[in-house]
Structure 1
């Protein structure tokens, strides 16, 4: 049996919420993207934390769903 570390929409939102981003589980990925980009404009000091999260998701041996990967790419 193979176990795959998978990052889906719920996991991604949980990680953003843990960083203090103003997102909720109810938002679509497009809404999350817009909310985080707006938040980063207002609080640019948060940018390194979001970038680190996204880079970590991209480089680790995790599988990121394509729709999540597209949003992640906008933050790197």
Structure 2
């Protein structure tokens, strides 16, 4: 597996950075984020359960551009 790094949250401390990658073999988007609080998890569970093999993470809104770039890389529309 080769992860292509897209971006880190520029406002987080070095050791606690939400980040975004794209898996170059599958084009899956991989994110590192903050654990959500209980009310966020509860709200997510209103749509459906969260299996043990899945998780909910929170990214700051300032990471929207990084997610857009990751989507462009994943669908092949990114300009290199």
| TM-score for both structures, normalised by structure 1 | 0.31
User: Higher strand fraction: Structure 1 or Structure 2?
Assistant: 2
Structure whose CA Rg is larger? 2
User: Higher helix fraction: Structure 1 or Structure 2?
Assistant: 1
| TM-score for both structures, normalised by structure 2 | 0.30
- Higher RCO by CA contacts (8 Å cutoff, separation 6 or greater): 1
